[in-house]
Amino acid sequence: MSFSSRVKEELIPQPLEKPCCVLAETAALTQATGTLGFLGAGRLSVTWRMENAALARRVFRLLREGIGLKPQLHFVEHARLGGRRTCVLTVEGEDAETLLVALRMAEREPDGQVRLRHTSPRPSLGKDCCRRAYLRGAFLGCGSINEPEKSYRLECAAADMGLAQSVQRALAHGGVESKVFERRGHWVVYLHRAQDLADTLAMMGASRAVMELENLRITKQMRSNANRASNCDEGNSEKQVTSAHRQVDAIKLVSIHRGLYTLPPALQEIARLRLEHPEVTLEELGQLAEPPVGRAAVHHRLKRLEALAGEIEASWDKAEEEKHETERSIDA
């Protein structure tokens, strides 16, 4: 089961909350999965279609227990899709009018008639509890989450632009930054930071998913730190080998052209130790000296040896240049 499915599985059975929260969640689910129908003679209906039977049961509970309506539930089987079934919930007549008024899509006139004002719910999101319920409904209706092992991304893709705008405002109230873009006729609200994803899951009430996400973040961070340390160790080892080879070449050059016996005792000792132990670190090299010396002293002595080798090479270059000058003078 995907992470997105596990989050929805956690959210669906949650108990119904206050009446205002029930209306907020119902509004989001209606915007995401609902359709307004006109039956003629001024009669209206609202229909919800969804493939998740568990979600259909939650919508049924919201309508029946939360608002006091009597929705009708039936299933439509799609022969072309391998027998897959779609759950269809419908409210009609007075129940539809009651719902439309509650969702602020319609108004009841003094004469008792219901006048439709909007084709989409106008959710009331003035309270934190209602915003949390609205986010939960929007995610259940049209949301998805990438597998956190690969990337942190939550999306709500809806054909109703009002849903996208309301989701973005609800997230902003919770301190979560999100963006909206249009994709194939749908308005997509998305966020892609790990902390924003964790905060959004917490707002919706998915506490188990938050814990799973946090454990995964810790694991990924530990793995990243281990890789970084390993890469650092490899880089340091490579630098150490390169430096040791350079030091050995410099000592050999000094030995051949000047002789190590011409050097001060401290340089003679460190030069011979490096030639005998080209693989050890500066700290280990210092421990082999008599008496032992620190890393800084070893580094300083080896730098002096490299400088002497540099002087020898510079004298070669000077001699070569003088030779060329002499040859040019003779030719002239």
Q: What is the pLDDT of residues 2-43, one digit of tens each?
A: 999 999 999 999 999 899 999 999 999 999 999 999 887 778
pLDDT for the residue numbered 326? 66
- Count CB-CB contacts under 10 A for residue 228: 10
Claim to verify: residue 266 and residue 188 sit in the same structural domain: no
> Which of 63-72, 182-191, 227-236 comes out lowest in average pLDDT?
227-236
Higher pLDDT, 112 or 191: 191
Residues 55 and 156 in one domain: yes
Predicted model pTM? 0.68
24 and 168 assigned to the same domain: yes
Q: Which of 205, 228, 262 is the last residue of a domain?
A: 205
Is there a single domain that holds both residue 39 and residue 124? yes
Q: Which of 181, 205, 229 is the last residue of a domain?
A: 205
Please provide the average confidence, as pLDDT, over all residues in the chain.
87
Q: pLDDT value at position 42?
A: 75
User: For residues 153 and 192, is the Cβ–Cβ distance under 8 A?
Assistant: yes
Position 220 in a domain? no
Residue 102 and residue 248 in one domain = no
In this predicted structure, what is the pLDDT of residue 21?
A: 96
Q: Is residue 20 part of a domain?
A: yes
**Tens of pLDDT, residues 234-270:** 555 667 777 888 888 888 888 888 888 888 889 989 9
Report whether 67 contacts 22 (CB < 8 A).
Answer: yes
Q: Could you tell me if 124 and 251 lie in one domain?
A: no
List the domain range (segments joined by +) for residue 250. Answer: 237-331
Residue 137: pLDDT over 70: yes
213 inside domain: no
Is the same domain home to 194 and 248? no
Q: How far is CA 268 from CA 46, 274, 301, in A?
A: 94, 10, 10
- If asked whether residues 89 and 153 sit together in one domain, one would say yes
Residue reference for tokens 């430096």: 243
With respect to residue 119, please indicate whether it lies within any of the assigned structural domains.
Answer: yes
For residue 72, pLDDT beyond 90:
yes
Whether residue 218 is contained in a domain is answered as no
**25 vs 29: CA distance, rounded Å:** 6
Number of domains in the chain: 2
SS3 track for the chain: CCHHHHHHHHHCCCCCCCHHHHHHHHHHHHHHHEEEEEEECCEEEEEEEECCHHHHHHHHHHHHHHHCCCCEEEEEEEHHHCCEEEEEEEEEHHHHHHHHHHCCCEEECCCCCEEECCCCCCCCCCCHHHHHHHHHHHHHHHEEECCCCCCCCEEEEECCHHHHHHHHHHHHHCCCCCEEEEECCEEEEEECCHHHHHHHHHHHCCHHHHHHHHHHHHHHHHHHHHHHHHHHHHHHHHHHHHHHHHHHHHHHHHHHHCCHHHCCHHHHHHHHHHHHCCCCCHHHHHHHCCCCCCHHHHHHHHHHHHHHHHHHHHHHHHHHHHHHHHHHHHHC
Is residue 50, in this structure, part of any structural domain at all?
Answer: yes
Residue 189 forms part of a structural domain: yes
Q: What is the CATH number of the domain that holds 175?
A: 3.10.28.10
Please check whether residues 127 and 250 belong to one and the same domain. Answer: no
Residues 153, 243: one domain? no
Residue 315: pLDDT band (50, 70, 90) is confident
198 and 246, same structural domain?
no
Residues 9, 87, single domain; the answer is yes
Lowest mean pLDDT among 129-143, 145-159, 249-263: 249-263
Give a yes or no: residue 81 inside a domain. Answer: yes
